[in-house]
Structure 1
Amino acid sequence: MSALFEDRQAAQAAAEKLKVYAQPQRLMILSCLLRGARMVADIGDATGIAQPALSQQLAELRRAELVVTRKEAKQVWYALANEGVALCVRNIEAIFGGVGLPGETIAASPSPHGVAGFARVL
């Protein structure tokens, strides 16, 4: 696998995939599914997304191969497609998700020394 700066097609494919993640309702659905497989009604209840929009966004996530479905009787269950999707959603939450409570400040840790001084364990 080459770095994205070395492969325009790989960079284009990555950018197209990121566009799917970049829609707020789809990102909310993916975040919800990070906690485990759910039925459509449960996803709607958890996210507050109304049925027509929820169905549309779930269809887009299926087309992008970010979620998979399984049917049990009349119920359709949705789950993240693979660990790569889960990793991406976890990283988005870690980078952009509000850590802590509103108004809460996170104390800065002392600056560590050494080569890995910039790393932060999540």
Structure 2
Amino acid sequence: MGVVTTSDRRHRPERGEDIIEFALILPLLLVLLLGVMEFGFAVMRYNTIANAAREGARAGIVSGATDAAIINAAKNLTTGLTEGDLDIIVNRPTARSVQVEVIYEHHFITTPIIVAVGGDGTLTMRTVSTMNIE
């Protein structure tokens, strides 16, 4: 009854093995987590500027809309973005259309890591919305 066979000894975990394995895999998990977070923030900011360009173009098709009114309509949807990294350009390619371009310089959270591997830590996002005046 109290006899330990060799097969029983083989299945016993060695002390500290789990901690060593966790310590080896933890950096990879953290890099993966940071990558997912960075991608999520970038997509969120891109959607924000796309909506701002669309709303600015909508404001521009209203009769008598000025460039300042169009820019303000677009800026109202960019809360949470750094205003210094945001550029809104209004064009009128034809007499019957309005084009709003929003450019945003996205700064990554992990900029020091990106700079260490040769990047500059920023991503320029650009969206354009064109609508016709009817």
Q: TM-score, normalised by structure 2?
A: 0.28
Larger Rg: 2
Q: TM-score, normalised by structure 1?
A: 0.30
The answer to which structure has the higher strand fraction is 2
